[in-house]
Structure formats: C-alpha cells, structure tokens
Amino acid sequence: MGEVIPLAQVSDYFIIGGLSDNHDAHELKSALSRLSGVNSVSVNHALSRLTVDYDDTGVARSRIEGVARDMGCDIMADSGGNLRI
C-alpha cells in the first residue's frame, strides 16, 4: 500500500454580507465547493456566516475570498481566525 500523506486541513470562518436569500447562499456554496482543495462549505444566510474547510496546499484563502466577492459577497470580518488541523 502507498504512503498516506496528511492534508493541511484549515477551517476558516467569515462574516459575510451581500446574500439576499437562501438561493444566493446555495450558489455561493456550490461555487466554493467546486474549488480544488475545498473539502466542505457551510453558508448560513440568516446569521451571515461562511465556514470553509480546505487543504491550504490546494487552494489559498485569498482564492476563496475572491470567489465569494465575485459572487457578490462582502467579506465583512473574519469571525474567529482559522483552525489548523
């Protein structure tokens, strides 16, 4: 069997604006989920929160933020930094 290489798992949490409804939240989740290196995405429209779990050797935080901005979101704050596993 081959060598198992652990992923550099990072969880980032954002407070976002610009989502007008649950459809926008779903579209944002879909767009971010398609990025190589992203493992999971959670968007809470009611609380204006975005959580992204990803391998930072596969995708940069700046790329995630850029996709969110391209989808019409404002990154208003980092709601607690990131957690590195």
Residue 15 covered by a domain? yes
Residue 1 within any structural domain of the chain: no
45 pLDDT more than 70: yes
pTM: 0.83
In the chain, the number of structural domains is 1
Q: What is the pLDDT of residue 84?
A: 47
pLDDT computed for residue 42 by the predictor: 97
Q: Is residue 3 part of a domain?
A: no
The verdict on residue 61 lying in a domain is: yes
pLDDT band at 77 (very low <50, low <70, confident <90, very high): confident
Higher pLDDT, 34 or 85: 34
Distance separating alpha carbons of residues 66 and 32, to the nearest angstrom = 10
Query: CB neighbours (10 Å) of residue 59?
Result: 19
